Amino acid sequence: MRDVRVQDLRRHRLLTLAAISGSILLVDQLTKAWAEQTFGGRTVEIIPVVLSFTFTENTGAAFSIFQNAGTLLSLAAVVALAVIAGSIWSPRPLAEVVGLSLIAGGAAGNLYDRLTRGENAFDGPVIDWIRFPNFPVFNLADTAITFGVAVILVTAWRSR
């Protein structure tokens, strides 16, 4: 009976991971395509002085570090996805599964850009399109990763 319950919990964690990360990947790619089509060479102020949308391509990571290191960043994303997929099998709180799923979806969204937008595998730029003043331009995948890390940190802090 215990084995059936463990299998059900694993299946639930896996379905949660697939649903959340798959949704993030889909919405991220749809919004990036929309941003490329809509904002091609211009910036549109949504809330003056607070929020604007634009289209940029980033060959690096957050805050434009590691420029032209797409292969390294892609391999890091593949490793992160593999670690998340492997860790989902062990018992963990639902909040942690949600956090890992957010990170996986964001990593997959940016990895998809790197795989499909470059001349070679793994070296494509990532589309960024959300801009706040004095902050790097980012996308929904980056947002999902940030929220995922926050959820995991809060979960770890609360469990102490």
Element (H, E) at 5: helix 2-39
3-class DSSP state for residue 157?
A: helix
Question: How far apart, in whole angstroms, are the C-alpha atoms of residue 47 and residue 85?
Answer: 39
E runs forming strands in the chain:
44-47, 51-58, 126-131
What is the residue whose two structure tokens read 């003043």?
133
**Cα 18 from chain centre:** 13
3 is catalytic: no
28 is catalytic: no
138 forms beta bridges with 130
Choose, from 28, 113, 123, 142, the residue flagged as catalytic: 142
Question: How far apart, in whole angstroms, are the C-alpha atoms of residue 15 and residue 21?
Answer: 10
Q: Are 106 and 144 in contact (CB under 8 A)?
A: yes
Q: Which residues are catalytic?
A: 128, 142
